[in-house]
Homo-oligomer: A and B are copies of this chain.
Amino acid sequence: MKLHQNKAPMGWNSYDYYDTTVNEAQVKANADYMAAHLKDAGWEYVVVDIQWYAGDAGTMRDRYQYIPFGETEMDGYGRLLPDVKRFPSSAGGRGFGPLADYVHGLGLKFGIHIMRGIPRSAAHRHLPILGSEVTADQAADPSSICGWNPDMYGLRKDMEGSQKYYDSIINMYADWGVDYIKCDDICNTNLYPNNPYSGAHEVEMLYTAIQKSGRDIVLSLSPGPALIEKAWHYEKYANMWRITDDFWDRWDLLRNMFDRCELWQNHVAPGAYPDCDMLPLGKLGGGFGNGEWDTHFTKEEQITMMTLWCVFGSPLMAGAELTKLDDWTLWLLTRKDILKLVSNDYVGRQYEKNRDYAIWSCLNACTEERYLAFFNFREEPLQIFCSVEEVEQFAGRTSGIRKAAELWSGADREVTEGVLTDWVPAHGARLFVLQED
């Protein structure tokens, strides 16, 4: 079943630190840390990202991120299995079952990354598809490939064998205990100039397979930017979809996310989340071949990122190596009073955006809690003014707001003649909760 929940997923993903190389021990260590330090603040998904089936992953990093025509684990039905060298518990055909059990044992949930389609080598070897007369070479579409990863062929539309293949892998994942599937090369395939969402039928097939599996599974689509014209389709068939290309720790990308959030803000709904991508915080990049680094974001930029992701309602997936988290980052990731805004009970809307700054409101219609976020785009501090009265009027209310507490700092601010103002640091943010008296 496609998960129907009331809050954007929160978790950890191996990519930002490990690239293609993560192994079982590393996954467990991050899961342990999450259970001990982050679970209480709402973090729950532990996700193994790309290339877990590749025996040679990371061995030619100077030339390839994804080695073409390399070694992969695969069963007789063309279903990829974890590389046993990196995931020893998968030996004997147990797949990710034991690792999922381990994660579940910590009270957490387990996720994996997959590529759209069927392995190219399964097609070239004419492998059978489980439960179908059709063979891999017949279901594979030889002209449907991923532009950046050489592993798969897309599956043909309107072909029973294609659905059967997706059924066969989703059932296997459900058996393993997978709670979250991040499917790549599908949200924006970039393949055909006039049809960048050319895998739309495969999204429907994945959805159907998940519905039939009987297990609650989050379906997350990558990479972005998702196509706003297809918003209804993403929303109907998936739980999350990436609204940007890969996000990293650069201000220009963070600044750009305000444009993406403006575009997608009306599409956050229970069980359906436009996805701003992983949070590149703490230690990053250990597996990328040039040594790990500390996030290039300033502390103010980190606060801006956390504030935007929360008021917008994006999924939150930490990219940091958790076992190396410093106190500051841990504090940032455990502010329950702020993280609660990713719940669908809180509706975020951009109130203003110009060259210099943005203002968002966030409202809980039931509890009448009201928040305002200020964001400074400039390279120097900026005093931002906001007429709380107009915001309220805009939302169809009469305001009685008199005070505001800034959540990150704990500072109080008066609302004078209906106007809230504060100095905001360069690239920084303020998040206020408004109070009537």
User: Footprint of B on A, CB under 8 Å?
Assistant: 4, 6, 68-69, 120-121, 123-124, 126, 137-138, 140, 142-143, 145-148, 150, 193, 228-229, 231-232, 236, 262-263, 265-267, 270-271, 350-351, 353, 393-394, 396
A69-B143 contact in complex given A124-B121, A265-B232, C-beta closer than 8 Å: no
Give this chain's copy count. 4
**How close is A344's CB to chain B, nearest CB, in angstroms?**
10
Complex-state Cα separation, A146 to B4, whole angstroms:
41
Closest chain B residue, CB of each to CB of A271: B396
Complex-state Cα separation, A353 to B350, whole angstroms:
30
Decide if B69 touches A393 in the complex (CB within 8 Å): no
Q: Report the 4 A-B pairs with minimum CB-CB distance, sorted nearest first.
A: A142-B150, A193-B193, A266-B266, A69-B137
**How close is A173's CB to chain B, nearest CB, in angstroms?**
22
A4-B394, A69-B137, A124-B124 known; 5 other A-B pairs, CB under 8 Å? A6-B396, A68-B140, A143-B145, A143-B147, A228-B228
Q: Which of B232, B262, B396 is A4 in contact with, Cβ under 8 Å?
A: B396
Closest chain B residue, CB of each to CB of A352: B236
Decide if A396 touches B69 in the complex (CB within 8 Å): no
B-side contacts of A232, CB under 8 Å: 262-263, 265, 350, 353
Decide if A266 touches B231 in the complex (CB within 8 Å): yes
Decide if B231 touches A229 in the complex (CB within 8 Å): no
Complex-state Cα separation, A157 to B420, whole angstroms:
28
A148-B143 contact in complex given A123-B68, A124-B124, A228-B228, C-beta closer than 8 Å: yes
A266-B267 contact in complex given A142-B145, A143-B150, C-beta closer than 8 Å: yes
Closest chain B residue, CB of each to CB of A267: B266
B-side contacts of A69, CB under 8 Å: 123-124, 126, 137, 140, 142
**How close is A123's CB to chain B, nearest CB, in angstroms?**
6
Complex-state Cα separation, A375 to B142, whole angstroms:
37
Closest chain B residue, CB of each to CB of A365: B365
Closest chain B residue, CB of each to CB of A124: B124
Decide if A263 touches B145 in the complex (CB within 8 Å): no
Decide if A229 touches B143 in the complex (CB within 8 Å): no
B-side contacts of A121, CB under 8 Å: 124
**How close is A13's CB to chain B, nearest CB, in angstroms?**
25
**How close is A198's CB to chain B, nearest CB, in angstroms?**
12
Closest chain B residue, CB of each to CB of A228: B228
**How close is A355's CB to chain B, nearest CB, in angstroms?**
12
Closest chain B residue, CB of each to CB of A121: B124
Complex-state Cα separation, A228 to B263, whole angstroms:
8
Q: Which of A69, A262, A350 has the most CB of B within 10 A?
A: A69
A68-B142 contact in complex given A4-B396, A228-B228, A228-B229, C-beta closer than 8 Å: yes
Decide if A263 touches B137 in the complex (CB within 8 Å): no
